[in-house]
Amino acid sequence: MTQDELKAAVADAAIREIEPHLDKDTVLGIGTGSTANLFIDRLGPLRDRFKGAVASSEASAERLKGLGIEVFELNHVGDVPFYIDGADEVNAHLHMIKGGGAALTREKIVAACAKRFICIADGSKYVAQLGHFPLPVEVIPMARSYVARELVKLGAEPVYRQGVLTDNGNHIIDCFNFMIDDPVAMEARINAIVGVVTNGLFAARGADILLLGKTDGVERTAL
């Protein structure tokens, strides 16, 4: 199976996971990226079965609206039963690295509001230790050089993601060659650097359910 077929399989599995829980009051939290897009596409035909969605990026909001799904501002929404999103890396504890598409901050905010985070990923994203994928850090633009120097002190090789502006108007620094021993501690440590908006470690609040696409089927892990 190709990577795209594995992504499609986990998008299908996520639909099966949430479908029994949909009702007219349900507002779903929706992530960003190629895997999340496949999930969004499968939500279209179900649009009359739930109220709408909150999106973690402008791109996902546009895709949802294009399918006739109402998109709400998070400030106007109470309960978010599920947040469904992909990941750049995920480990056995369902800690993740996210933000390859620069959407990490809004993703973390919507995930924080959700009762359950369903991570959908093809098998290549599963790792024993996080850090093979360069860890993204969203920074206030004027703090970029300062934050980069602080990240060097933590052992990272920071690289400014040239030409990328987040939906929040900020910059992204990617931390290369930065294997992470303790994701919960490192998430907090990086977030404590002045000028950091957030980093792409989703460990303090990881996923609750992982749907991992493998050639022999979708493996479901629930914590």
Binding residues for substrate: 32-35, 85-88, 98-101, 125
Given the residues 107, 138, 150, 187, the one annotated as active site: 107
The amino acid at residue 10 is V
Alpha-carbon gap, residue 203 to 199, rounded angstroms: 11
**According to CB under 6 A, which residues from 73 to 92 bind ligand R5P?**
85-88
Q: Which stretch binds ligand R5P (CB under 6 A): 18-26, 44-52, 98-106, 146-154?
A: 98-106
183 binds ligand R5P (CB under 6 A): no
99 binds ligand R5P (CB under 6 A): yes
207 binds ligand R5P (CB under 6 A): no
Q: Which stretch binds ligand R5P (CB under 6 A): 33-41, 44-52, 70-78, 146-154?
A: 33-41
Q: Is 107 among the residues known to form the active site? A: yes
213 binds ligand R5P (CB under 6 A): no
- Enumerate residues 6+ apart whose C-beta is below 8 A from 10: 35, 120, 121, 122, 211, 212, 213, 218
Alpha carbon 33 to its chain centroid, in Å, reads 8
Give the torsion sign (CA, 69, 73, 78, 84): positive
Alpha-carbon gap, residue 195 to 183, rounded angstroms: 20
Residues noted as catalytic: 107
